[in-house]
Amino acid sequence: MRILFCFLYLLFLNTVTTEHTIEPALLETALGSIKGIKGVFTETGDILYEFRGIPFGKPPVGSLRFKKPVPFGFWKETLDATAFRSACPQNIPDFMPELSRPTTSEDCLFLNVYVPKSLDKLSNFSVMVWIHGGGFEVGFGNEEDLSRMAIDGDVIMVSFNYRLGIFGFLAINHPAAWGNYALWDQKLALQWVHDNIEMFGGNPSSVTIFGESAGGYSVSLQSLISSNNGLFHRAIAQSGVHSKILMRKQDEVQEYANQLSKKSLCPLGDEYKFVDCLRQKQVQELLEIADFYSTVSEDKLKRHIFFKSHSYPVVDGELFTENPIVSLEDKTSAVSQFFGSLDFISGTTSNEGSLLYLISFPELQEFYRFNVTEGVPHKVACEAILAPYVEKYLRGDGSIKEQMCNFYKADASTKEQSLRATELLADVMFTYPSIKMLEFHAALKNGKTYQYLFSKTSPDPFGGTPPEWFEGCGHGDDLIWLFKVGDHEISDDEKQFSKNLIQYWTSFAKSGRPIGGPESMFWIPFDLSGRMYLNFDIPTVLQSFYKMETSELWSDIYTLIEIYNNREEHDEL
């Protein structure tokens, strides 16, 4: 499930480089020699090495478009890795001026490596691999500056690009285009890290993947691919995990293929010719053909804010032989065994529903006769969010919709009702899926499981100043405390909070135990009896049993969805 304009999931702020370049850095690797940057981290004077724009996959162009990535392999001349390379093609909307607009190219499969202190190949640094978000529609690896985490956490940091939109997810239920190319790109980048990070001083046996929003979703999916065993050992899924209903079904895939055929004038009769026809299209033409908004009717655009994106995975018979949640329900499956072997952190911000006021566009406000700056009425929660959800997953069952509407109704002020509406959106998309994934992991009783809630608000909220009625930490507003506190005037307590957060994340990467700085709160693991979680705020506190009533409701809803799915499958037979 996804909200309309789901690519808003992650903040796209300009990357700020905090080190001062002093000289080039040369490194000999098994792939060839690389010229990077040796710099000084200006806050501390520590040395940091950066290698930017290292190719890990051959350009996915021509006959390689809409195919699994091919390893780049070796290079003969010294590779210039002193500058970031192009992002993958993406459609960035004009109505979101705060989003970065990077240079793009189909030749975009590059990664970046940040090494603290020295290039000693015996350093044995733990490694953290960042997977960017953006709803699988926008984003790029170097949108966040990972240098501070590398220095303060004493770990190697890696980021990378992966294909987006139609380039990353075209699928037609046929061998001509099985889809999931974005996930294959991610997998290839992780394989590259495993095979090569030792040459940068990294420990391939101590790799943690982490990401936010679609990046968190990617982290959880990669953690459910058993062939990734050995590529990484710990995972942090921030504000996004996979859930059972997020896999695109065959009828959804076919419907989208039909739409693409009509818009592209590429006939669908012969699947191979159809895909070859799309390969002949220019990048910009494909972006326009596959533009997400153009596939949604004008009526739905003004009435609904809940849609499922076309840029999501499918069961392809290779990466996924079935929905991985189905595999996870069997504790003896290879998927369960791999997921259970990982140490796992997952959590959400205190109000992921901030997306609601960001995507309540004028047409929607006019249709429902409200002003989002003043508040969000109950009708919007019921009709714009719940109605399409119930229609899609519960056959429009009116009694279920009424039950859910009543649950998210506030009898008090307009402010309280508005916050209940944002809570609904958060619960649908982030909160319950995260809790469910934590429950799956804890039940396997192997790797350590940790839950968090992020309540500390941002000095620079995504999308600008929120409405007066809004409360809490919005979607993506946790990232500033990991990556960008140096860009803002903050208190000493906030500086220490940020340092502690980085220590929690990087100590987890080293040992599987998240430990903060001096006098920080001890983080007790999550299990099915105590259900402990760490609430990141000032002060950070340990709490338990997060949103149990909500979890019980959504557990019942998911059970009903399963019943309806089984009926549909029976009807098709």
Residues 147-166 have a mean pLDDT of 97
* Nearest of 502, 525, 503 to residue 450 by alpha carbon: 525
190 with 232: CB under 8 angstroms?
A: yes
pLDDT reported for residue 8:
35
* Nearest of 113, 287, 283 to residue 207 by alpha carbon: 113
Tokens of 241: 């995990």
pLDDT in tens, 184-232: 999 999 999 999 999 999 999 999 999 999 999 999 999 999 999 999 9
Higher per-residue pLDDT: 235 or 485: 235
For residue 377, is the peptide bond before it cis, meaning its omega torsion is within 30 degrees of 0? no
What residue segments make up the domains of the chain, in order of their start? Answer: 1-246+309-359+431-546
Mean pLDDT of the chain: 91
Which residues is 116 bridged to in the sheet? Answer: 48
- How far is the CA of 553 from the CAs of 80, 208, 406, in angstroms? 54, 33, 12
For the chain, the maximum distance between any two Cα atoms, rounded to a whole number of angstroms, is 69
Among the listed residues 213, 346, 498, 551, the single catalytic one is 213
| DSSP class of 86 | P
Q: For residue 19, name the pLDDT band (cuts at 50, 70, 90).
A: very low
Angle between helices 398-407 and 548-572 (to 10 degrees): 160
Helix (H) or strand (E) holding 79: strand 79-80
Residues 85-100 have a mean pLDDT of 78
Cβ-proximal residues to 518 (8 Å cutoff; 6+ apart), any chain: none
pLDDT in tens, 502-551: 999 999 999 999 999 888 999 999 999 999 999 999 999 999 999 999 99
pLDDT in tens, 161-174: 999 999 999 999 99
pLDDT reported for residue 9:
33
Share of the chain above pLDDT 70, in %: 91
266 with 274: CB under 8 angstroms?
A: yes
221 with 351: CB under 8 angstroms?
A: no
Tokens of 341: 């072997």
Among this protein's residues, is 159 annotated catalytic? no
- How far is the CA of 354 from the CAs of 96, 181, 364, 405, in angstroms? 15, 30, 16, 19
Give pTM, 2 decimals.
0.94
In the block, residue with structure tokens 């026809």? 277
* Second CATH level (architecture) for the domain 1-246+309-359+431-546: 3-Layer(aba) Sandwich (3.40)
Alpha carbon 170 to its chain's center: 19
* Nearest of 346, 391, 7, 335 to residue 169 by alpha carbon: 7
pLDDT reported for residue 40:
83
pLDDT in tens, 339-362: 999 999 999 999 999 999 888 878
Which residues is 159 bridged to in the sheet? Answer: 112, 130
Q: Which of 9-18, 131-140, 202-211 has the lowest mean pLDDT?
A: 9-18
